[in-house]
Chains A and B, each alone.
Chain A
Amino acid sequence: MTEGPGLRRDNFDWERFLELLGLMHRIRAFEEEAIAGQKEGLVLGAIHPSIGQEAVAAGVCGNLETADLMLSTHRGHGHTLAKGADGLAMMRELFGRKGGTCGGKGGSMHIADFGVGMLGANGVVGANIPIATGAAHALKLQGSRQIVTCIFGDGAVNRGPFMEGLNWARVFDLPVLFVCEDNNFSATTRTREMTGGAGAGARAESLGIETTEVDGNDLTAVDAAARAAIDAVRAGQGPRFLTCHTYRMTGHTSVDPAAYRPAQEVEEWRGNDPIARLEVALRMAGIEDAQLTELHRSEAAAMAEIARTARETDWPEAAGAFTDVQDVGDPRERAY
């Protein structure tokens, strides 16, 4: 898509969008380094890239406060970075090294950073929905002004916990924003072929939750819709539901060639790249090309440095396998 939104510099929050553009570059650079690292054997397990979906992470999390809570998915690097987690600690986690976000115990699919309100990616599709709902339930019991944001993919809407969690959030009027990051695919199957009815938003509405749909590759649109929903949730209006339509530019995992989708479709979406679209909008707002190029270069360079540092970091001690299992009962009881 080459047309910009036609915004003028004077009514366009270009400073904020430049910051979010930098965040999107950071997310993409992180995943490009991770994919390269996997080819080298540095990333040890599966990774699920979100390349092409960065506007959802940046647009939603860019409206959250650090104290707010967020739960993510197996495809969660972008959400985690956008919530404020440290890129180096995350890269170390993917490389299984000391100083990783979870000390090397979780890897890509189990990144959490409670210090910035990131309550965990999850290896089980939809499992974050009841957990997010419960976190919001606790916040309500505590009378907190914090809110919870729960991001999941379109595949999650076919799991029972989706219905149970949304219903619960409505029944108890909880401060939670549900974000369906609809990238069209449930692993390697087209979601619409496996979904009855009109899908995510219609299901949320059937449970009495106000719903918004937005072009998930348009950062400015995601940003505006997320802000409105988050304001409503924080004002005590109960749960909100936001569907962001986007597209996964890679396969399900970094090693999935995704041959199940037509090349033309992928090319069309490549032309709808959220980073390129925001750059067009910023150019129309009067930002110089040189500034945009420099932003990209500096984020990519910083991430390359992070990857270099991560690969030089030591492995965690083996003894860590026995820590943080549980307080009661010795996990060494049947150890070798």
Chain B
Amino acid sequence: MSSTYLALFKISLKDKIAYFKDYMFSAVGRTLTYVLMIFVWNIIYFGGHFTTIKNFNLLQIDAYFVIGSALFLLINSNNDYIVSNDMKMGNVAKSLIKPLSYVYSVFIESFSENILLLPSVLIVIFFTLYYTGLVTTLFSIITVIIIIIIAYLIINILQFMIGSFAIYTSSAFGISILFFNIIEILGGAIMPLTFFPSYVNNIVMLMPFQLFTYVPASILIGSIPSSTYIYYIFFGLFWLFIIAFVGYIFWNHVKKKISSVGG
């Protein structure tokens, strides 16, 4: 069975490589959107003669936007588009009778896209840390790897659920964009979460979205104390468990709906 999934992964990877040029252009374009913030904050720091703003010095804020955008790009999947499209075209019903798990095959397809980005993301992170001279420990790196895996699973499950909404709305494209906008803001991609007013920050810090950008990027640049690393890992595992459980129930419900409307 595992060889079947491996074959599926290889096919998906080849498919993505065929559109590599387009894919890389898109990745660079999306990253640049966040990287432009470096110019904005440089002007703010220099203009206001600030050395730190909310525990971020200028080097850290520059590194935050580069590393944060790279990580955000890496963990983002396109499960929602795959599932939504499959729902629309009636492919889900066909997939359900195949000797393959539909859920796993969707995850493998989007994973092949993320894996293509991994080398560039690692190079970007390495050069950013080297260039800025920010010191990161082995413990930080291991914590970030664990958090990124948890965040990746959370975002994949959430996007899979969003794609499944197509059963109610005929297309989940709009909800997907809305979700992306929400995690961009609440995940800290457009700004570190500590910059938010304290009452907003207190609420945002209870949500799992901070694991998508803010927590891993802040750990790597050393703006989060190492004593809290274990807390963030358990916090992520807690949310992963909840979201996986809700996702499981939701998908079982959706599956019944698919068969009832004939695919």
Whether chains A and B associate is no
Interface set of A (CB-CB < 8 Å, partner B):
none
Interface set of B (CB-CB < 8 Å, partner A):
none
